[in-house]
Structure 1
Amino acid sequence: MENTPLYTALRNFAAKTPLRMHMPGHKGKPLPNFPLEELAALDFTELPPTGNLFDGGGAIGEAEALWAEAFHMDSCLFLTGGSTQGVLAALTLACKPGDTVLLDRGSHRSAYNALALLDLKPVYLERPWLEEAGVTGPISPERVEEMLKAHPGSKAFCLTSPTYYGVLSDLPALAEVVHRHGAILVVDGAHGAHLPFLGDYGQRAADLLVVSAHKTLPAPGQTALLFSNGAFSHAELRRAASLYGSSSPSYAMMAALDLCRAHILEGGAAAYHQTAEQVARLRRRFPALTQQSAPLDPTRLTLLSPDGYRAQRALEERNVWPEMADGGHVVLIPTCADGPADFARLETALEQIQLGPCPGYPPPPPPPEMALSPRQALFAPRRALPLEQAVGHISAGQVAPYPPGVPVIAPGEVVDKKSIAYLKQIGYNTLEDVSVAVLCEAASAPEFRHL
């Protein structure tokens, strides 16, 4: 077969047997009890024997209920649009258009898109900076209490736990504060689908929890899960998620979710405990974030380096492919699919590269001034400008290094010199111009400087 550029590129790369220290969690190994030759045979549409995801019940509903039981939650909905679909659905449930929402500034860009789509008014909560680690730390309940008192109309608090670097926040303590103020706790736990199989990390405290099975479990790309602990019914989950997902979700993906849970409960969890042991050993041997810095996902390996990008390139030259890097870190995602041979191969590579203390990595600057609402900015007429020429203009999109996809400048904020200096310092990983609202031709005009 000729002229298949994407397929050919993927096959050629896979043939090099790369050590995949990135998502998806299956690491290119066979999915549990799911030979690919069965894919076409299982690829159905909505029929009486197969059921309908957004109608509820049937075999799909039974499979979702088993996931809810595994997470100790009241209900679960399968997602085939990744955690992005789940975050959009969760904020749709938690808020009405025009509501105020307290948002972790370290949220994924999907949460910022939800602000625009739902016309929500954000109040941003900045995370504390861990100087020696060079990453943001967990969110304190005391800080959330302060913010909710200052903004008593907030309908929800949305945060990320664990972060891309593996930092965990105390969800039960945060839930107590949030509920005391009559708000909903929404947790983007995209990188924490494996945590309930390693212990109790408090995820059941969330009113709404989103996790990506494909990021850390043996499941195919885009498979994710939306959980409710009783604040919202399964019917409400289906209604909200159907707004952002295909009306013809992949049955093969949903079947893979069913098989993934069964696999983890029948032995995969033991493999994950072994992965956690291997990661703990590597943390002791190589410079890395540890529990002394902050509460961490026991399987996320965030290495420290004087030059994270150089360390990433050095690993890639040895056919070891990290998830991401920044100026002082290299992030690896070991999962239950990584066995002793994989860890031996990783350890050999790490012995050959330069690792060491994080070089005074800078904290993110304070959020720039907000001049338009996220909705006004994202849907405004726009034009592209080089980053340095965008100073004083209003961003019409997210300026967000990816990964991790956390905006430095959010839609509606004024592009300032501090943010540009920070983006340069961290090696902003795009050559694309910045989208700015055409309204900002008169950026000094009062009507465009304040909401």
Structure 2
Amino acid sequence: MGISMNILLQQKAPIYEALVKHKSNRVVPFDVPGHKGGRGNKELTDFLGENCLKVDVNSMKPLDNLCHPTSVIREAEQIAADAFGAEAALFIVNGTTASVQGMIMSVCKAGDKIIMPRNVHRSAINALVVCGAIPIYVNPGVNRDLGIPLGMSLEDVKQAITEHPEAKAILVNNPTYYGICSDLRGIVDFAHEHNVKVLVDEAHGTHFYFGDNMPVSAMEAGADMAAVSMHKTGGSLTQSSFLLCGEGVNPHHVRQVVNLTQTTSGSYLLLVSLDLARKNLSLHGRELFKKTVEYAEYARDEINKLGDFYAFGSELVDYDAVFDFDPTKLSVHTRKMGLAGIEVYDLLRDEYGIQIEFGDISNFLAIISAGDRALEIERLIASLSEIKRLYGKEDVTGMFDHEYIDPDVVLPPQIAFYSDKKALPIKKTVGEICGEFVMCYPPGIPILAPGERITDEIVNYILYAKDKGCLLTGTEDMAVNNINVVNL
């Protein structure tokens, strides 16, 4: 762990302490929210608990204001910055989507170019739709055996920056959903030599800051900003996130940009969860993530003994498009047994009562944490053994072998999204320019984004994913039978 934090400071939790004091003061509430500490909605209070409803409060002087923090939230942000080794940390309650968009929109305006891999989360391309920046895509490496996109090769990044010296920033996914890491230090060093900001979507990398022997974190690598999805692997409530700022970034400007889209009614349930999760990781992160890695490594070894399933790991590292691997990720390839990842996902949920993070056409991902129990890890392994025995197939012909398709970008996302459009049946869209998003969720990485040419391969992929049971989202047509295309 490369961060030297002030342990005495990390024992504090200013938002939590302020809420405890607020509860003890028994203040009479003539403000919002209207449930008045839960008294106005008994069923909700019975479900969530009185303690929860009593601290679901609005901004007030003793509790500070998320849009312009000057007291307890400000102090909590300063302590978080110390924990993550950042110059500043902003509490985000609109999800890491808001963190990613805040990063992009604080350094890019309409017409500015930003370099990014195409396998970004939809939030990044959404930011381009809103602010009008122009994407310069670097195709990630692709492992055809596993059917997954990898990280960005440093050489490809250097080429993109050299060819587009006017680019304002580069966005890096680190790690990817599957645990693949790029050469973050190399990218930061080269980008900074060319006055390009480095923004890191670190949604799945909270543990990089607190665990031992982890891949390098964004702040340690010298990145300018990072979006950290604290709720994914850090223990806070869903939708809570940190936006970290490094040296040379004006956090007050970043906050102004975030305030364009983030709620003015920040949830104190989310805020206090960030405060306490940060405290927990600062004080106990080493042992928590040591246990997480032990669980993941054990599961990986046992699943690989089953045959046909392949739980991949650090053996993929080639110090290029796979510069490092996140050891907490349990990513499992399923195609060799004749099942798509989403089919295994469905079987685990429907037949064995096990909920994993997601499945795609070739793999599934199970999120492992110290909150798991050894018995549950064994149950997952045993269920996979049963699935292989009962549902495995020898014939894998006709299965898609990859999920990443190089895009043909014809129009900037903003122009395509706001253009006149017409709806066409999916099979009749080949050759057209897409005017909306099409993606499987999770993970929320677009198959198609606004402004991209629709090809036979893309249509076949969409129909295949739909047939296999993937949840397709992004289209105006809720049944996903039609796609809106640009009406030229």
Q: Provide the rounded CA distance (Å) in 2 between the counterparts of 1:135 and 1:46.
A: 44
Matched, 1:202 2:217: yes
Task: Identify the residue that residue 278 of structure 2 maps to in structure 1.
Answer: 261
Q: Provide the rounded CA distance (Å) in 2 between the counterparts of 1:272 and 1:46.
A: 34
TM-score with structure 1 length normalisation? 0.85
Structure 1 runs (4+) deviating above 4 angstroms are: 355-360, 425-428
In structure 1, the residue corresponding to 2:327 is in which secondary structure?
coil
Task: Identify the residue that residue 436 of structure 1 maps to in structure 2.
Answer: 484
Task: Identify the residue that residue 393 of structure 1 maps to in structure 2.
Answer: 432
Q: Is the 8 A contact 1:133 1:293 kept in 2?
A: no
In structure 1, the residue corresponding to 2:115 is in which secondary structure?
strand
Task: Identify the residue that residue 407 of structure 2 maps to in structure 1.
Answer: 367
Matched, 1:410 2:449: yes
Deviation digits for residues 250-285 of structure 1 (CA, Å, limit 9, x no counterpart) = 112101110111122333541221111110111122
User: How do 1:43-442 and structure 2 match up within 5 A?
Assistant: 43-199=56-212, 201-204=216-219, 205-286=222-303, 287-294=310-317, 295-306=324-335, 307=339, 308-316=341-349, 317-354=351-388, 361-362=401-402, 364-370=404-410, 372-426=411-465, 427=468, 429-430=471-472, 431-440=479-488
Q: 1:388 to 1:73 in 2, by over 3 A?
A: same
Task: Identify the residue that residue 22 of structure 1 maps to in structure 2.
Answer: none
Shift of 1:399: 1.7
Residue type matched to 1:312 in 2? Y
Q: Provide the rounded CA distance (Å) in 2 between the counterparts of 1:37 and 1:162.
A: 38
Q: Is the 8 A contact 2:302 2:381 kept in 1?
A: no
Task: Identify the residue that residue 27 of structure 2 maps to in structure 1.
Answer: none
Shift of 1:70: 1.4
Q: 1:252 to 1:429 in 2, by over 3 A?
A: closer
Q: Provide the rounded CA distance (Å) in 2 between the counterparts of 1:281 and 1:209.
A: 30
Shift of 1:438: 4.9
Q: Provide the rounded CA distance (Å) in 2 between the counterparts of 1:87 and 1:277.
A: 31
Q: Provide the rounded CA distance (Å) in 2 between the counterparts of 1:311 and 1:97.
A: 43
Shift of 1:37: 3.2
Deviation digits for residues 392-451 of structure 1 (CA, Å, limit 9, x no counterpart) = 2221111222221112221012222222123334456434134424523xxxxxxxxxxx
Residue type matched to 2:424 in 1? L
Gaps of 5+ in 2: 1-42, 304-309, 318-323, 473-478
Q: Is the 8 A contact 2:416 2:486 kept in 1?
A: no
In structure 1, the residue corresponding to 2:89 is in which secondary structure?
strand
Residue type matched to 2:402 in 1? P
Residue type matched to 1:406 in 2? I
Q: 1:82 to 1:265 in 2, by over 3 A?
A: same
Shift of 1:329: 0.8
| Identity across matched positions, percent | 28
In structure 2, the residue corresponding to 1:271 is in which secondary structure?
helix
Shift of 1:363: 5.2
Q: Is the 8 A contact 1:364 1:422 kept in 2?
A: no
TM-score with structure 2 length normalisation? 0.79
Q: Is the 8 A contact 1:101 1:122 kept in 2?
A: yes
For the pair shown, the structure with the greater C-alpha radius of gyration is 2
Q: Is the 8 A contact 1:165 1:300 kept in 2?
A: yes
Q: Provide the rounded CA distance (Å) in 1 between the counterparts of 2:195 and 2:228.
A: 24
Deviation digits for residues 341-373 of structure 1 (CA, Å, limit 9, x no counterpart) = 332332332332228999772252321241x22
What is the Cα-based RMSD across aligned positions, in Å?
2.3
Task: Identify the residue that residue 443 of structure 1 maps to in structure 2.
Answer: none
In structure 1, the residue corresponding to 2:185 is in which secondary structure?
helix
Q: Provide the rounded CA distance (Å) in 2 between the counterparts of 1:194 and 1:383.
A: 45
Task: Identify the residue that residue 14 of structure 1 maps to in structure 2.
Answer: none
In structure 2, the residue corresponding to 1:288 is in which secondary structure?
strand
Gaps of 5+ in 1: 1-6, 12-34, 441-451
Please say which of residues 171-180 and 383-392 is displaced more in the overlay: 383-392
Shift of 1:382: 2.8
